[in-house]
Every structure is written in structure tokens, then in C-alpha cells.
Amino acid sequence: MINLDPPRLLGSQCQSCGNTTFPPQRFCPACGRGDGLDEVELSTRGTVYSFTVVRQAPPGVAVPYVLAYVDLREQVRVMCQLTGAQPDDYEIGMECDLELTPFGHGPEGAETVGFRFRVQPRVASRRS
């Protein structure tokens, strides 16, 4: 799902109808085709479609944090964590960029890496 150098999200695109999905799929959810799906790299820049500020979490998870749906150029909507601004400063329509972030360790101690989107600083500070 993630290409690390440079960081890119990987999706699939149907050769038949052109539908793009994330994460990659084995069949097209739009037309049902089970073959002819190509792996594609998705955009690294997106736009905040919707978000929520999480203020309660399980023990060991720092709060508050922001979860969002981010729209990419390929007409794919990705659910992810947002960073780069104070929780109350996010707005729908903000532009954001993909970044990788460590978020824990696997069962054998290897670092686990995930993705999130960072809002652009000049946009995040426009309310000041």
C-alpha cells in the first residue's frame, strides 16, 4: 500500500472503467471486473473533505488528534490522520501533503510505518 522512496500511496486502477481505488483491490468495485487492474501511484497532495477531532482514545494514545477524509486528484478519498495545525484550526478544503510516520513496533520489534497528511503551514495559519 505504501512505496517508501519517495513516499507514495499505491492504489489500483481498472483498465475497463478507469475507476481508481485505495487500498489496491483484486476486483473493481465499480464494474466488478476481476482482471485488468493496474497498480498505480497516487497523488501526494490532497484536500481535506471532512474531519473530526478525537478527544477520547484508548490508554496510551495521545489526544487530541484529528482523523480526516482526504480527496486525491485520482478521485480517491483516503481516511487518515491529519497533522500540522492545532485541532481547532483545521478546515474543510485545506490542502495537505502525504508524509510517513512511525506509529509503533511489530511483534518482533521492527518499527511500523504508516501514513498521514500534513496541512500546508501557510494555509493552517491563515486564521491567526
pLDDT tens for 20-30 read: 999 999 999 99
CA distance 115 to 44: 11
pLDDT for 10-22, tens place per residue?
Answer: 999 999 999 999 9
In this structure, which amino acid lies at residue 53?
V
pTM: 0.85
**Overall CATH class of domain 45-124:** mainly beta
Question: What does the pLDDT read at residue 1?
Answer: 59
Tell me if the bond preceding 58 is cis, omega within 30° of 0: no
Domain range list for the chain: 2-41, 45-124
CB 123 within 8 A of CB 10: no
Q: How would DSSP label each residue in 88-124?
A: GG--TT-EEEEEEEEEEE-TTSPEEEEEEEEE-HHHH
CA distance 101 to 115: 6
